[in-house]
Amino acid sequence: MNKRMIVYITGILMIIEAILMLPSAVISLMESDGLIMGFAKAIGLTAGAGALCAYLSRPKNTTIYAREGLVTVSVGWIVLSLMGALPFWFTRQIPRYVDAFFETASGFTTTGASILTNVEALSRSVLFWRSFTHWIGGMGVLVFIMAVVPLAAGGGNIHLMKAESPGFEASKLVPRTGSTAKILYLIYLGMTVTLVILLRAGGMDLFSALCLSFGTAGTGGFGVLNDSIGSYSNYCKIVITVFMTLFGVNFSFYYLLLKGRVRDALRNEEVRWYLIIYTAFSLIITFSIIGRYSSFGGALLDSFFQVSSVMTTTGYSTANFDLWPELSKSLMVLAMCIGACAGSTGGGFKVSRVIVLFKYACVTVQDALFPNRVHRVKLNGRNIDDPLLRSIGGYFALYVLILLLSVVVISADGYDFTTNVTAVVATLNNIGPGLNAVGAAGNYSGYGAFSKLVLCFDMIAGRLELLPMMVLFSRRIWK
């Protein structure tokens, strides 16, 4: 294990994080909200600790392997959340550190689960930092650094990128990892700027437009108002619905579109199924909730918005779906678990994995019927070979295991079963709101400190697709 390299990259990560805190500090100065000292302390401490780590462990050997990649990413994300909590804590806007940590982890992992009961009471500079963490976490920080400088020698970068980017097929768009990272960030930035412009065109003030765009782009879900998106105009709701859906699509789809390879792009099976599932769920829910609305349009908008919000794992809300009929609620929880496309900013189990598992299940039945016939699982016309099938099966097992264990642990706090299950589902899949006490109108403030830490673990594990966090439990890593 190249431990120096892990500490070194974590140090660089902290320095970058300190730089990313600067815009919030500038807003604090512009607003003269009296919180600038809190920001200054947070930035100073983060940058100082980062510089110290990077300086003390300047590596002679920058070669890293898959193992180092996994550990760097998980350690990096934990440190990122620990340090990112400082602005909340030092400005006393969130007085307890564990709450600040929960809020930051929720921000970076683009979960959007909050412990705040009154968002509007927060100062704008802190709100900006809260939403900005979504944007940073959406595409990943290490990917961001790699777009600017190569971190490791030769092929080491791909191990970092693989560990940080969602999806089982970490495919590079172009031969170099660094260039791939650059292209991904440019697409991400371009789409975010478009969204800001469209929201401004709808009459939203710049601050809200920025914050909501960060939340949408990263598929996070932190808003600036207590009722999330409920009180904005229908135009804004439609724009956000469309963009949430767009950010849930595999980014290689956009790269192919940009290169003019429309036919290749449309051949993507995952994107097709993603849109089919999305439309089907939304329509069923529209008809199941129509009785509660005065117009068909209102029901249609709310259901399309909500399904997009949970399926892309954003977590914005225009309606309290906790009050919807049971069928709708079940479909919502199912959509949460399916999640967005691999290679997007969204979380969840990922549509492609669901497709493969579904096909695998069909093949199992076929095998039983026709034992001598050869059956293969294909995705996008390609054969999914046995090692990949095994890894997807293993991923599913891990996913279920973490889900069940977390539910049992947080049950100690005494909430009802639905609350506990959806709290874990909503954090592990990086969505935000669940049902009942943690529903669209509720929040996570009621859980005890230990449960909050468990949920933080779920959020980070979910964002990094389980494996990077799970390797931390291996004793050989710590030797």
Partner 1 sequence: MKIIIAGMGKIGSAIAESLVTEGHDLVAIDTNPEMLVRISEELDISSVAGSCTNSSVLEEAEVAESDLLIAVTANDEVNLLCCLIAKKMGVGSTICRVRDPEYTSTIDTIRGDMGLSMVVNPEREAAAEISRIIENPFAQNVESFMNGRAKLMSFEVSSGSPLEGVTVAQMFSKIKAPVLVCAVERDQQAHIPFGSFQFASGDVVTVICRAGGFVPFLSALGLVSSKIKDVIVVGGGTTAYYLADMLLDRKTNVSIIEKDAARAQEMALKLPKADVINADGTDYNLLMEEGIDTADALCCLTGIDEENVLTTLFAKTNCPGIKTITKINRSDIERTARPFDLGSVISLRSITANLVLQYVRAMQNSIGSNVITLHRICQGKVEALEFKVNPGSRVTGIPLEKLPIRDDILIACINRDERVFMPRGNDTIEEGDTVIIVTTVSGLNELDDIRSDS
Token output for 457:
């673990």
Instruction: Pick out residues in 178-197 that bind partner 1 (CB under 8 A).
Output: 179
Contact 230, 317 (CB under 8 A): yes
Nearest CA to 68 out of 144, 168, 180, 156 is that of 156
Which H, E and C letters describe 120-157, residue by residue?
HHCCHHHHHHHHHHHHHHHHCHHHHHHHHCCCCCCCHH
Q: Is there binding between residue 203 and partner 1 (CB under 8 A)?
A: no
Tell me the sheet residues that pair with 378: 383
- Taking contact as CB under 8 A, which single stretch among the options 95-103, 171-179, 313-321, 453-461 is the one that binds partner 1? 171-179
Q: Which of 10, 24, 93, 177 binds partner 1 (CB under 8 A)?
A: 177
Q: Which phi and psi angles does 379 have, rounded to 5°?
A: -135, 130
Q: Compare residues 155 and 203 and give the one whose CB is closer to partner 1.
A: 155
Which residues does 248 contact at the CB level (< 8 Å), separation at least 6? 219, 274, 308, 311, 312, 313, 340, 341, 344, 345, 346
Instruction: Pick out residues in 215-234 that bind partner 1 (CB under 8 A).
Output: none
* Other residues' Cβ atoms within 10 Å of the Cβ of residue 413: 15
Q: Is there binding between residue 48 and partner 1 (CB under 8 A)?
A: no
CB of 176 to partner 1, least distance (A): 6
Dihedral of CA atoms 387, 389, 393, 395 in degrees, nearest 10, equals 70
Q: Compare residues 123 and 179 and give the one whose CB is closer to partner 1.
A: 179
- For residues 273 and 351, give the distance between their C-alpha atoms in angstroms, rounded to a whole number: 7
Q: Compare residues 174 and 206 and give the one whose CB is closer to partner 1.
A: 174
Q: Is there binding between residue 130 and partner 1 (CB under 8 A)?
A: no
Q: Is there binding between residue 260 and partner 1 (CB under 8 A)?
A: no
Give Cα 297 distance to the centre of its chain.
30
Q: Compare residues 44 and 154 and give the one whose CB is closer to partner 1.
A: 154
CB of 29 to partner 1, least distance (A): 41
Q: Is there binding between residue 291 and partner 1 (CB under 8 A)?
A: no
- Taking contact as CB under 8 A, which single stretch among the options 106-114, 156-164, 323-331, 394-402 is the one that binds partner 1? 156-164
- For residues 129 and 94, give the distance between their C-alpha atoms in angstroms, rounded to a whole number: 13
CB of 319 to partner 1, least distance (A): 45
CB of 382 to partner 1, least distance (A): 10
Q: Is there binding between residue 174 and partner 1 (CB under 8 A)?
A: yes
Q: Is there binding between residue 377 and partner 1 (CB under 8 A)?
A: no
Q: Is there binding between residue 414 and partner 1 (CB under 8 A)?
A: no
DSSP letter for each residue of 458-475: HHHHHHTTSHHHHHTT-G
Q: Is there binding between residue 154 and partner 1 (CB under 8 A)?
A: yes
CB of 159 to partner 1, least distance (A): 7
**Residue 378 is inside which H or E element, if any?**
strand 378-379
- Taking contact as CB under 8 A, which single stretch among the options 129-137, 174-182, 444-452, 463-471 is the one that binds partner 1? 174-182
Q: Compare residues 130 and 159 and give the one whose CB is closer to partner 1.
A: 159
* Other residues' Cβ atoms within 10 Å of the Cβ of residue 359: 17
Size of the site for partner 1 (CB under 8 A): 11
The site for partner 1 (CB under 8 A) is made up of: 154-155, 157-159, 172, 174-177, 179
